Amino acid sequence: MIYDYTLENGRASSWMEDGGYYKDPDNNKFIGYSTVNEASIPNTATKYTKSQMITKVLDIHSRYPISVLGPDDTVAALTTTQVTAEVNAWCSARGL
């Protein structure tokens, strides 16, 4: 499952198996993946579907553009199509 979460003492929570993605600077939450029993997940974490995650990451991207370093060392913001493809690849890599 996909969740957003906050760090605990500078680290991902013990229930978060694969985290640290797509930080939202406005609330200091990250996106991550975990398959633990939902009863172990704090109520401060929000569960997302793949579609909701894409919407969430595109919202973050609209406020804080996700960029890449080009071959000539220039920084370029990704397009919404590129961000959507990146999030889809992230989900596919986790079987979602």
Q: Give me the pLDDT at residue 39, please.
A: 86
Q: Give me the pLDDT at residue 11, please.
A: 87
Tell me the C-alpha distance between 79 and 95, whole Å: 24
- Scanning the chain, the segments in alpha helix (DSSP H) are 50-63, 80-93
Question: pTM score, two decimals?
Answer: 0.89
- The one-digit pLDDT tens for each residue of the chain (96 residues) are 999 999 988 888 889 999 999 999 999 999 999 999 888 898 889 999 999 999 999 999 999 999 999 888 899 999 999 999 999 999 999 999
Q: Give me the pLDDT at residue 10, please.
A: 85
**Could you tell me how many residues make up the chain?**
96
Q: Give me the pLDDT at residue 45, please.
A: 93
